[in-house]
Structure 1
């Protein structure tokens, strides 16, 4: 039993990572509906509840069965490593109405009474209008629930991709899948990735490869999905989600601040996970130009390394910087 991805020779070369603000919006809406997903997101929930109360999210919730199909046209797999919400929602709005009708039906039948409900019948009667209204509602949910927190979320997702990309480079697919989620099993003898599930489903990748996508809001689950013609996709919980909403650790150690200067030391200490200039500027409340200048000095001094991911350049501390940023022990 389980959800099986079968790799062919070409698929082994076509695994790629991406992140999706549209997917995070969908799953943020689902978190509001699912108490078992809320443990790590309580600070966000306290802010999001007020914003969510001003939205009528019931049409989206109707298409989120406890188990079963979620409409693929509402969350198409991203085409590049780092896409914007605007790019993604444009693809949703461009969905073919007749294909969307069947997609909606497959989702509605997974919830008893949903297809026969007034909202379900309205979607079936005019799928073009349903596509427009669901896209509009998703955009409002993005603006209210996710966009204000996107720099923090994006930093988490980019750091996860950087970590697992290195794991893939060092140990191959077996090492990669072994560390993504406890429900995943890689069977090297058959080149098959299995998600442990009570039901059985088989998907041959057929040369499309597998899209790997970290998510903050999908925790604690791992999700495999998309039927043809969509690219097969695996969505897994991002590393570090438990600390996503925690406050910064505090000012840099005093000795380090005297050595580097207070602001430059704060920039270095803020890099607990790899991050971009924009994310650090948002985190520290500084101008991006100021952060960029300090990053350049720290990089030249051998305290940082950088790596490009999509449109972003991520900075990460070197072993020397890790030693310098160790927190001072508490006074006795």
Structure 2
């Protein structure tokens, strides 16, 4: 359910699809046939999106039908309250035709939303779910090994660059003022393929406290450098460098690139040095970190060989 909701978010003009761009382009006809506005209107870039649309899963391998049933069983007063709260985050949203429908009868609004989600699952996510699920399972296996080898310190040290673990407190860099003392409730960690650019948290009761983070290796999810569109540039500069160059649709730091492409930070640094010396990327300082972006020459090589 979470992956379906986040895939819908990537179709909005406010969100950059990043390395999902090619995938979304390949299914553009299917997306154009769907009216996604009831869900996208409740997905402000910064602000509240209703938690009841993607409740934290209760099992390691939930079925879509079971998760949809949980949404359909949401109390209608919560549906009405969460929708009103979300629409307030976007100026003018409540005054649109779709906004007025969502603010009307909460039972009808819930049916409208679940209908959109069901259609996107069937048309967009379900056909590629084995590939996405394999990525998520690989992340869980990797993080489980790190937890077993070094406890929470080792796990959170590299779970994601936006997360810091200090004195028993997990901190999300750039987060708001929300906080929640677990008091024995436990914390659910969920890797995501389509939420690739930032860490999300679910803190409001009655939901299980949850951290949603970009899955390790998500940058290579749709790429086949040996036989696909990156074959030529891969032969020119090497497979890993081609993947890194193609993945720099927007500036990113070494640590982010290492997580995104499931590579060691030292390896990424070496590749970036070669790409920089060749004039294909350039580094710029953002606060305390260096972020790399493609140069016009790097973009031209990709465009010429793909």
TM-score relative to the length of structure 2 = 0.71
What is residue 131 of structure 2 aligned with on the other side? 152
> What is residue 224 of structure 1 aligned with on the other side?
201
Conserved? CA contact 1:184–1:193, under 8 Å: yes
**Paired residue for 1:245?**
222
Structure 1 segments unaligned to the other structure (5+ residues): 1-21, 251-332
Match of 1:111 in 2: 90
CA distance, structure 1, for counterparts of residue 22 and residue 117 of structure 2: 22
Correspondences of 1:231-310 after superposition (within 5 Å): 231-247=208-224, 249=226
The alpha-carbon distance between structure 1 residues 210 and 37, as it changes in their structure 2 partners (threshold 3 A), is farther
Match of 1:213 in 2: 190
Q: 2:163 is matched with which residue? A: 184
Q: How does 1:2-17 map to 2 (within 5 A)?
A: none
Alpha-carbon RMSD: 1.5
Structure 1 residues 76 and 236: alpha-carbon distance in aligned structure 2, compared to 1, 3 A threshold: same
1:69-100 deviations in Å (ceiling 9; x for gaps): 11111111100111011111111111111111
Is 1:204 the counterpart of 2:161? The answer is no
Structure 2 unmatched ranges of 5 or more? 228-306
Q: How far did residue 41 of structure 1 move? A: 1.2
* Farther-moved stretch of structure 1 (203-212 vs 53-62): 203-212
Q: Distance between the aligned counterparts of 1:97 and 1:206, measured in 2?
A: 29
Match of 2:63 in 1: 84
The 5 Å alignment of 1:17-166 reads: 22-33=1-12, 37-166=16-145
CA distance 1:98–1:36, shift in 2 (3 Å):
closer
Are the counterparts in 2 of residues 72 and 226 from structure 1 also a CA contact under 8 Å?
no
Per the TM alignment, residue 31 of structure 1 is displaced from its structure 2 partner at its CA by 1.1
CA contact (8 A) 2:180 2:203 kept: no
Task: Give 3-state SS (helix, strand or coil) of 1:206's partner.
Answer: coil
SS at match of 2:3: helix
- The separation in 1 between residues aligned to 2:151 and 2:207, in whole angstroms, is 25
CA shift, 1:42, in A, is 2.5
Deviation track 1:204-236 (CA, whole Å, cap 9, x = no partner) reads 223221110000111111111241010011011
CA 1:60 to 1:248, structure 2 compared with 1: closer, same or farther past 3 Å?
same
Higher relative contact order (CA closer than 8 Å, sequence separation 6+): 1
- State the 4+ residue runs in structure 1 displaced beyond 3 angstroms: 34-37
Contact 1:37 1:217 in 2 (8 A): no
1:178 CA displacement: 1.4
TM-score (norm 1): 0.66
Structure 2 Cα separation of the partners of residues 124 and 234 of structure 1: 29
Q: Give the length in aligned residue pairs.
A: 227
